[in-house]
C-alpha cells in the first residue's frame, strides 16, 4: 500500500513538473510561412534584418522575404526592421505559443530610387586575380533621396543628386589568399580574405539566411575575412573621399527630417560632385 502511495506521489510530481515546463517554455520557432517583409520595387527580398530590440537578437529574410526566430520566450517586444537605403520600420509585437502578433506583412519604402540592375560576380578565394564589378550602362539618372525638403545650412530644397555613370566603371575587389592573418582562421578552416581598393564606403550584407552576421563596412585598403557565400554589395563612389552622412546605410532618416542639422561647407561642395550609388551581388566560393 505504501508503495502505491509513493508511486502516486512521484506521478503527481512529474505532472506538476511537466506543466511548469510547458508554461515557461522558451524554445519557440515562429512560422516563417506567415510573416514576411518585402522591398519596394525589388524582386529579391533577402538580407532584410529583423531585430528584437529587448533581446538584442536578429534574423535575416530569405529571397521571398520570409523570416523566423528560434528560442524566443513569450512576451512583448519592439521589432526593428531595416535594410540599406530603405526606410526602417519599428513596431510593437507579442509572442505567444510560438506565434507573433500582429502578423507581419509589410513593405519597406525606398529612400533612394535607383534604376540599375545589380551586376553579378563569382569570386574564388583560392587565387589572387583581380575582380571588378562592372556597370555596363552609360546614362544620366537621378537619385531621389527623399521627396521631403532637407535643410542644408539655412536653405531648404528637395534633395536630388544627379550622376553621370561612366561606361563599364570598375570597382576592384581583390582576394588575397597569401596574406592570411590569424583571426581569419576558425574551426572550419580558412574563411577567406580580401583587399579593397578605392574610395568611398562599401557595405556587404550576407544574402544567405544561414549567415547570421552584421553588415560589414570596408574602406580603402582595408582587409576583412569572409565565409564563402552570397553577399549583397553596396558602394558609394565620389570624387572625394568624404561624402555626406545621409548616404550612410545606418543613417537615421526619420530623425534627420524632423530635426535637420546644417551640413558643413565640405559636404555642401560634394553635392556638386559626381557621385554614384551602385548595388552588386558577390558570390564567394572556395
- 256 CB burial (10 A radius; 0-12, 13-18, 19+): middle
Query: Does CATH number 3.40.50.720 belong to domain 23-108?
Result: no
Amino acid 45: pLDDT: 82
* Cis bond before residue 2 (omega within 30° of 0): no
Average pLDDT of each block of 10 consecutive residues along the chain (286 residues)? 54 52 42 78 82 86 81 88 83 86 88 47 44 32 33 28 30 42 42 39 38 43 50 38 36 38 32 34 45
Whether the full predicted model's pTM is greater than 0.75, yes or no, is: no
All residues at 6 or more sequence positions from 28 whose CB lies less than 8 Å from its CB, including other chains? 69, 70, 71, 72, 73, 74, 95, 97, 98
Tell me which residue of 216, 246, 247 sits closest to 232, measured CA to CA.
216
pLDDT reported for residue 31: 53
Report the chain's C-alpha Rg in angstroms: 24
pLDDT of residue 78: 93
The domain spans of the chain are 23-108, 119-285
Tell me what pLDDT residue 140 has. Answer: 29
Q: What pLDDT, on the 0 to 100 scale, is given for residue 92?
A: 93
Amino acid at each position: 500500500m505504501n508503495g502505491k502511495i509513493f508511486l502516486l506521489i512521484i506521478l503527481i510530481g512529474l505532472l506538476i513538473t511537466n506543466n511548469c515546463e510547458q508554461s515557461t517554455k522558451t524554445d519557440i520557432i515562429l512560422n516563417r510561412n506567415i510573416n514576411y517583409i518585402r522591398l519596394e520595387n525589388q524582386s529579391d527580398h533577402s538580407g532584410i534584418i529583423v531585430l528584437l530590440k529587448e533581446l538584442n537578437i536578429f534574423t535575416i529574410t530569405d529571397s521571398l522575404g520570409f523570416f523566423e526566430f528560434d528560442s524566443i520566450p513569450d512576451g512583448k517586444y519592439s521589432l526593428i526592421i531595416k535594410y540599406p537605403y530603405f526606410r526602417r520600420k519599428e513596431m510593437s509585437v507579442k509572442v505567444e505559443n510560438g506565434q507573433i502578433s500582429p502578423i507581419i506583412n509589410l513593405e519597406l519604402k525606398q529612400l533612394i530610387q535607383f534604376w540599375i540592375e545589380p551586376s553579378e560576380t563569382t569570386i574564388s578565394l583560392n587565387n589572387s586575380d583581380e575582380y571588378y564589378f562592372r556597370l555596363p550602362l552609360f546614362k544620366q539618372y537621378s537619385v531621389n533621396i527623399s521627396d521631403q525638403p532637407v535643410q542644408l545650412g539655412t536653405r531648404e530644397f528637395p534633395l536630388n543628386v544627379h550622376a553621370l555613370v561612366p561606361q563599364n566603371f570598375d570597382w576592384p575587389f581583390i582576394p588575397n589568399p597569401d596574406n592570411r592573418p590569424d583571426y581569419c582562421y576558425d574551426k572550419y578552416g580558412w574563411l577567406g580574405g580580401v583587399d579593397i581598393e578605392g574610395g568611398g564606403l562599401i557595405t556587404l550584407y550576407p544574402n544567405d539566411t544561414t549567415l547570421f552576421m552584421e553588415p560589414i563596412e570596408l574602406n580603402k585598403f582595408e582587409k576583412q575575412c569572409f565565409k564563402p557565400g552570397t553577399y549583397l554589395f553596396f558602394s558609394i563612389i565620389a570624387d572625394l573621399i568624404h561624402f555626406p552622412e545621409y548616404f550612410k546605410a545606418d543613417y537615421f532618416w526619420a530623425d534627420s527630417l524632423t530635426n535637420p542639422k546644417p551640413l558643413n561647407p565640405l559636404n555642401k561642395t560634394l553635392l556638386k560632385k559626381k557621385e554614384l550609388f551602385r548595388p552588386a551581388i558577390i558570390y564567394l566560393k572556395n
